[in-house]
């Protein structure tokens, strides 16, 4: 597991937003993003669900969340990285 770069965190945040635009309950990532199950086993389960269902955004999010620390997963699940996208460009 490795810390993600700022650009990767932005990508994960964009994917999270896209998922919630179509699925209020977090789609395949519900147990991680909504319920706070941040363990690796929960992440693997979500990746498997995304592949089985063919959910493009959920599949794209998988490799990023898999590499995140628990702290980063928690922050993503609560929308804590939204400020990276909402901040004005310098």
Render pLDDT for 6-16 as a digit per residue (tens, 0 to 9).
Answer: 999 999 999 99
- CA–CA dist 79, 49 (Å, integer): 22
Which is more confident, 15 or 2?
Answer: 15
Q: Which two tokens stand for residue 56?
A: 């493009």
Task: Confirm if 65 and 32 have CB atoms less than 8 A apart.
Answer: yes
Q: What are the extents of the domains in the chain?
A: 6-79
pTM recorded for the entire structure: 0.90
């Amino acid at each position: 597991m490795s810390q993600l770069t700022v650009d990767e965190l932005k990508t994960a945040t964009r994917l999270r937003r896209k998922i919630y635009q179509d699925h209020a309950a977090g789609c395949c990532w519900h147990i991680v993003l909504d319920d706070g199950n941040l363990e690796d086993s929960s992440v693997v389960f979500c990746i498997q669900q995304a592949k089985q269902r063919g959910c493009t955004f959920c599949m794209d999010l998988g490799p990023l969340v898999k590499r995140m620390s628990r702290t980063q997963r928690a922050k993503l699940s609560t929308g804590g990285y939204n400020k990276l996208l909402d901040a004005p460009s310098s």
